[in-house]
Chain A
């Protein structure tokens, strides 16, 4: 494991330096710079196509940047400069850093060939090298926390959407991530289920010091959980504020327009 300097507290958990991402001719992120401090809860808002989800996907290495650097605890993650040359960091080194990052998806993406508990213990055993007993004990604890204990041995497609998402949250937490990425985790859920899942996340926010980066359309949730909101438009941060200020007193015209459309 690479030693990080995170213990000093000065090094940001996440740092983007001039990050460029293009899809064909479409420039989604154009030299984006921003950082997230250790333990911060940051919500990314903005119209669709503004690059919010792309940021999370870059952090999970589900997309490849076309330029710039992404640092986790100050450690180069996906690319680095060798002299003047911008080079890809090999998978072996990426895996070391990736261990610190977890993600929950809009579509849950549980593994249908495994039971609930098997979904949760798979990576802790095979990636973190935990013993099965240890992984199961931790898994059961997390299932308890997300209120899914009684579904322990169910196959995942026997669960409702909200239940699947709670299992997915437990699965991500089982890896003890320092950083948790939440990509529109309630967007695929029925309205009456949303509150359950948000309740689980609120509790995690209150009881842990995990750094969270969330993309959400639930403005009330963003307000309760996050301490910082970044408004994106066309791959750039157009406004940044604490949630109270952002939602009650936005300054930028694009933010006002966007919030008006979202909040009504």
Chain B
């Protein structure tokens, strides 16, 4: 066991790098996923079939195919057609497209949960489409979508472990190395669990903080209290129901 600890301490620089790579993939992937989700989410609810149909096809394709296969495609198959990306870029693109497709459904659902009266009032004030979305509808939909996006973010973090297969030295790679060095599966994979859990926990705090802030902007709740942010308490059902119910 003391050997294990020594090897663990020796591997800390690798762990630091691994966390950095995992965070780059997670945050880069999440950012790209959000862009993809907004484009596809709005695309999937436009009246024009020429926009809606391709959006739906892209959503269903990336939701319906395996993330590992997508990563392998981008990494091993695309270069045969002359597109070569770095491993980190491949991971970010694959995670972004895959989770973006899921998040698109969250975006679409949340946008549709905003009462139509809000769109109508914005029309009555003669606001342009983009203005309606940016200033009126999205801030309200945002509060509704954060809890679901938080789930996807955690899943994305864990999905990023697949990048190990395309040579990236992320947290999973570090775990694997530790296992090889210590030959102690219980210890090394235990360490892996803990590191992923800590990162996921920090991300959850961040999302809770965003959620509290979004709710406060809608005049619900007060300043985010530490208790709300760190409490990891899921949204109170009645609160969500009230938000979906209307503007009153």
Contacts and interface: CB of A to CB of B under 8 A. Distances in A.
Interface stretch (A6-14, A106-114, A138-146, A226-234): A106-114
Nearest to A98: B126
Contacts of A58: none
A109 B120 contact: yes
Interface string A82-106: 0000000000000100110111010
B226 interface: no
B220 to A, nearest CB: 7
Interface string B189-219: 0000000000000000000000000000111
A102 B124 CA distance: 6
A8 B60 CA distance: 59
A123 B126 contact: yes
Nearest to A157: B219
Contact of A164 (B126, B128, B248): B248
A109 B121 CA distance: 6
A117 to B, nearest CB: 14
B218 A155 contact: yes
Contacts of A112: 140, 218-219, 247
Nearest to A172: B124
A45 interface: no
Contacts of B115: 109
A4 B131 CA distance: 27
Interface in B88-131: 115, 117-118, 120-128, 131
B180 interface: no
A123 B118 CA distance: 14
A139 B191 CA distance: 60
Given A111-B136, A122-B135, A105 B126 contact: no
A158 B219 CA distance: 7
A157 B220 contact: yes
Interface string A156-174: 1110010010001001100
**What range describes how many residues of B lie at the interface?**
20 to 34
B210 to A, nearest CB: 15
Contact of B247 (A95, A103, A108): A108
Tell me which of A60, A95, A105, A111 has the highest count of chain B C-beta atoms within 10 A of its own C-beta.
Answer: A111
B235 interface: no
A161 B117 CA distance: 15
A168 B217 CA distance: 19
Contacts of B218: 112-113, 155, 157
Contacts of B224: none
Contact of A123 (B127, B140, B219, B248): B127
A122 B121 contact: no
Nearest to A161: B248
B124 A126 contact: no
Contacts of A172: 124-125
Contacts of A213: none
B219 to A, nearest CB: 3
Given A112-B219, A155-B218, A157-B219, A107 B247 contact: yes
A99 B126 contact: yes
B145 to A, nearest CB: 14
A101 B123 CA distance: 11
Contacts of B219: 112, 155-158
A127 interface: yes
Tell me which of B125, B217, B219, B247 has the highest count of chain A C-beta atoms within 10 A of its own C-beta.
Answer: B125
Contacts of A111: 118, 121-122, 135-136, 247
Given A98-B126, A112-B140, A112-B218, A60 B247 contact: no
Interface of A: 60-62, 95, 98-99, 101-103, 105, 107-113, 122-123, 126-127, 155-158, 161, 164, 168, 171-172, 175
15 contacts: A62-B123, A102-B124, A108-B247, A111-B122, A111-B247, A112-B219, A113-B136, A113-B140, A113-B217, A123-B127, A127-B127, A157-B220, A157-B247, A168-B121, A171-B125
